[in-house]
Amino acid sequence: MNDKLALPVGTTLDRFIMRKQEDFPFASGELSQLLRDIALAAKIVNREINRAGLLDISGAFGQQNVQGEEQQKLDVIANIRFIRALRNGGEVCTIISEEEEDLIQTGNKKGRYIVAMDPLDGSSNIDVNVSIGTIFSIYRRCSEVGTDGTMEDCLQAGTQQIAAGYVVYGSSTMLVYTTGNGVNGFTYEPSLGEFFLSHPNIKTPQTGNIYSCNEGGSNSFPEGIKNYINYCKENNYSGRYIGSLVADFHRNLLKGGIYIYPPTAKAPNGKLRLLYEANSLAFIVEQAGGKATNGTQRIMEIEPTELHQRCPLIIGSTEMVDKVEGFLRAEVPVS
């Protein structure tokens, strides 16, 4: 028999997680189950996104979330799907979501984990068929098992993450995650209903020639950021900005580049959320060899003080982030 007629399809996410269980002797399989729960919710959300145009579930929902942003119908759907999967999985005691004002108690008081999530990042792009995503972080609870999770459990610094990841729903659907032992990416095969390892041990290039920034507000950017953008233009870098954080980050992670969302006059503390977006992507990029800062401080060392805290974000290839920090310190001449 010709072996080429039955080539292996690769390593499934479930099998990969099982092999890596030994990295977490304290978890006794709970973390593995939690990652599977997230993957299940991602499959369901992927299905909803792919049929959005057929079922009238794109467009605005008619309400605003806690951030004061207009919710899209799929924002609400994704939020419900992930909460339901995490609640039913039994490993999570408390969830915090960009779409919810307060802590979400799952009723699983014996659960050992806290999940912070942005259920659907970039949802304003749904109606125009542009890539969107999900971002998540996982923490071990600080409070006593057998009780509801607390605010202290949820306001942990990014350095306390035990896992983080994102899903990008695009030309293919990919789940990328880290547990502090490198970064791995899995591509969804819809006919089999499985995520397969497609990008093992992702390492981001140390530098690149892509910068991602919404230059529409550049008049109110800090001078150092303005000077860095001018530097990029003078050196013929490519400007690439999708408007979906996950999509911009994913491209730069693989190809080398930098994503910049600085403070502006309209958003003096930045716009992105520390707990739901910045911490997770910072953990991933550092595990891939990159860097994340707010301009003066490592993202993962920022101590959260509130659930929906915002922060500036400069993230990507290490040499490029270093260059921005240099401009912000006025140590790099504009040339």
Residues at the binding site for substrate are 121-124, 214, 241, 271
Residue 280, phi then psi, degrees to nearest 5: -60, -50
Helix and strand totals (H; E) in the chain: 9, 17
State the binding site.
98, 118, 120-124, 214, 241, 271, 277
Tally of CA atoms within 13 A in the half-sphere of 297 that contains its CB: 13
How far, in Å, CA of 83 to CA of 104, rounded?
8
The first and second tokens of residue 171, run together, are 């030309």
Residue 305: count of CB within 10 angstroms of its CB: 8
In whole angstroms, how large is the CA radius of gyration of the chain?
A: 20
- Going by their DSSP bridges, the two strands 132-140 and 113-121 should be labelled as antiparallel
Element (H, E) at 276: none
State the binding site for Mg(2+).
98, 118, 120-121, 277
- Going by their DSSP bridges, the two strands 70-72 and 60-64 should be labelled as antiparallel
Q: What is the DSSP letter of 216?
A: G
The first and second tokens of residue 32, run together, are 């593995």
Question: Which pairs count as long-range contacts for 65-71, CB under 8 Å and 24+ apart, including other chains?
Answer: 65/98, 65/99, 66/98, 66/99, 66/100, 66/101, 66/308, 67/98, 67/273, 67/308, 71/99, 71/123
